[in-house]
Amino acid sequence: MSDSGAAVATLSVRSRGQWLAVVARQRELSLVAIMIVLGGLVTLTAPQFLTVSNLSQVAVLAALIAVAAVGEALVVITRNVDLSVEATMGLVAYCVASLLERHALGTTGAIAFGLGLGLVLGMVNGIVVTVFRVPAIVATLGTLSIFRGIDYLVAGSHQVPLASLPDGFTNPARDSVLGIPIFVLVALGIVVIGSAVLRSTRFGRQLYAVGSNPEAAAILGIPSRLVVFTAFSVCGLLAGVAGVLYVMEFGTINGTSATGLVLAVVAAVVVGGVNIFGGSGTLVGAALGALFLGFIANALILVGLSQFWLQAIYGLVILLAVSADAIIVRRIQRATAARRVR
């Protein structure tokens, strides 16, 4: 799994520093291990945790976030950030639901429109960042506000009820193929394709190069701005996919749908081990980060803690993940230094 990361690692364990380096590069395994241990503990107090229906419910919700988190990870790897994903999701969700309600487009047409809208919004972010040279955090904080405002403007106080969606439109949120929920298949497909692109194509490597050392990338003649623009565009497209999934999952959509989700998306990316300063991280990690958060949310409910704890625990998880990253990196650096000066 680490092979899809920035550093295509060979597992040669020679000293403590390198051992830690390997652990650091195995964030995906650590997350899986933590989930298994926690899952065991939760099952002891709430046996219904380990049922197919519960687990697939967790996976379906996590898949929705994972799709957006994969897009976010692409942007973060290039040393940028997209805070507008939730607004893109919300706007796409409302437009798709509204088009279906008014029978303006068929199911396929509405979905295609939603994806196209996501792509366009992502391209807007990309243009503001690369052409107008606005720092990503400012640009996407701005477009978060703008996209959300447009959402309100379009929706007004109207709410599209579940009932006015075409029959069967929301089925994919509940159906599964070969026992695997369709949402999960969608997320898996995106993660697999995305990982292959990141690992083995020129564009994928340029993404890491731009995030790892922008100056060196420029000197190498890597078209940094184009790479960053593409990352933002794909992020928008994937937020569009997540927006469509959101309609299928929740059915009832209004102008405030998906509010606050950016926190979960960014948390998934951070927890999944994508370096917030760019240059390293994997899509598998981001997706597992989303699964981890969904898992915690579910466990909280089963253990009987109120829903209100969720936000606080998300916050704690972000703080723990970023602290753990820093501690591991510093250990490695100290070990390397100690090896040099004996």
Partner 1 sequence: MSDVVHGPSVAGARSGRSWLGVLARWETLLVVAIAGLVVLGTLLSPFFLTPGNFSNLIAALMEVAIMALPMTLIIVAGEIDLSVESMAGLASSLIGFLWAAGVPLTAAIPLVLVVGALGGLLNGLLVARGRLPSLVVTLGTLALFRGLALIVLGPRGVSNFPPEFTALGFGYVPGTLIPWPFVIFLSLALVLGVVLHRTWIGRQIYAIGRNTGAARYSGVRVIRIRTALFVLSGLIAALAGIILTSRLSSARADAGAGMTLTVVTVVLLGGVNIFGGSGTIPGVALAVIAVAVMQNALRLASVTVEVQSIALGLLLILSVVIPNFAHQAKSAIDRVRGGRPPPADSVRRGEATTG
Partner 2 sequence: MAGRLDDRQAIRTMTDGVADLATMPTLRADLRGISKRFGATQALDDVSLTLVPGEIHGLVGENGAGKSTLVKILAGIHQPDNGTIALDGEPVEIAGPAQARALGIAVVHQEPRLFPDLTVAENVFIGHAPSGRLGTIDWSATRRSAARLFDQLDVQFDVGAPVRGLSMADQQLIEIAKSLSVDARVLILDEPTASLSAHEVERLFAIVRRLRDRGVAVLFVSHRLDEVFALCDRATVFRDGRHVVTTSTGELTTADLVRHMVGRAVSLFPKVETPIGELLLEVEGLTRAGEFRDISFSVRRGEIVGLAGLVGAGRTEVARVLFGIDRRDGGEIRLGGHAVSFATPSEAMDAGIAYLPEDRHQEGLVLDFSIAQNVTLPILPRLFPRLLVRASTERRVADEYTRQFDVRMTGVDQIVGALSGGNQQKVVLAKWLASKPRVLILDEPTRGIDIGAKVEVHRIISELAASGLGIVLISSDLPEVLAMSDRILVLHEGRLTAEIPRARATEERVMFAATGNLEPVAAGDQTSGAADV
Binding interface with partner 1 (CB under 8 A): 81, 128, 132-135, 137-139, 141-150, 152-153, 255, 263, 266-267, 270, 276-277, 306, 308-319, 322-323, 326
- 302 lies in the site for partner 2, by CB under 8 A: no
User: For 263, what's the count of Cα atoms within 13 Å in the CB-facing half-sphere?
Assistant: 13
Are 95 and 226 spatial neighbours (Cβ–Cβ below 8 Å)? no
Q: Which of 51, 171, 200, 323 binds partner 2 (CB under 8 A)?
A: 200
Give the shortest CB-174-to-partner 1 separation in angstroms: 28
Give the shortest CB-265-to-partner 1 separation in angstroms: 11
Q: Which of 153, 154, 303, 337 binds partner 2 (CB under 8 A)?
A: 337
Q: What are phi and psi of 160, to 5 degrees?
A: -85, 115
Give the shortest CB-196-to-partner 2 separation in angstroms: 8
Q: Which of partner 1, partner 2, none does residue 144 bind (CB under 5 to 8 Å by kind)? A: partner 1
Concatenating the DSSP letter of every residue in 76-123 gives: HHTT---TTHHHHHHHHHHHHHHHHHTTSS-HHHHHHHHHHHHHHHHH
Q: What are phi and psi of 128, to 5 degrees?
A: -60, -40
Q: Which of partner 1, partner 2, none does residue 42 bind (CB under 5 to 8 Å by kind)? A: none
Q: What are phi and psi of 180, to 5 degrees?
A: -105, 125
Token digits for 30?
């650590």
Comparison of 114 and 279: residue with beta carbon closer to partner 2: 279
- 171 lies in the site for partner 2, by CB under 8 A: no
Task: Give the dihedral sign, CA 311/37/57/264.
Answer: positive
* β-bridge mates for residue 181, sequence order: 176
Token digits for 37?
């241990």
- 201 lies in the site for partner 2, by CB under 8 A: yes
- 13 lies in the site for partner 2, by CB under 8 A: no
d(CA 147, CA 285): 28
Angle at 324 between CA 326 and CA 66, to 5 degrees: 105
Are 30 and 320 spatial neighbours (Cβ–Cβ below 8 Å)? no
Task: Give the dihedral sign, CA 17/277/314/27.
Answer: negative
Q: Which of 42, 89, 217, 245 binds partner 2 (CB under 8 A)?
A: 217
Comparison of 167 and 215: residue with beta carbon closer to partner 2: 215
Q: Which of partner 1, partner 2, none does residue 326 bind (CB under 5 to 8 Å by kind)? A: partner 1
Binding mask 220-259 toward partner 2 (x if CB under 8 A, else -) reads xxx-------------------------------------
Token digits for 342?
């004996």
- 340 lies in the site for partner 2, by CB under 8 A: yes
Give the shortest CB-322-to-partner 1 separation in angstroms: 5
Comparison of 106 and 135: residue with beta carbon closer to partner 1: 135
Amino acid at site 151? D
Q: Which of partner 2, partner 1, none does residue 266 bind (CB under 5 to 8 Å by kind)? A: partner 1
Q: Which of partner 1, partner 2, none does residue 270 bind (CB under 5 to 8 Å by kind)? A: partner 1
Are 68 and 129 spatial neighbours (Cβ–Cβ below 8 Å)? no
Q: Decide: residue 248, CB within 10 A, 0-12 exposed, 13-18 middle, 19+ buried.
A: buried
Residues that bind partner 2 (CB under 8 A): 3, 6-10, 12, 18, 21, 196, 199-202, 205, 208-209, 211-213, 215-222, 275, 279-280, 332-334, 336-338, 340-342
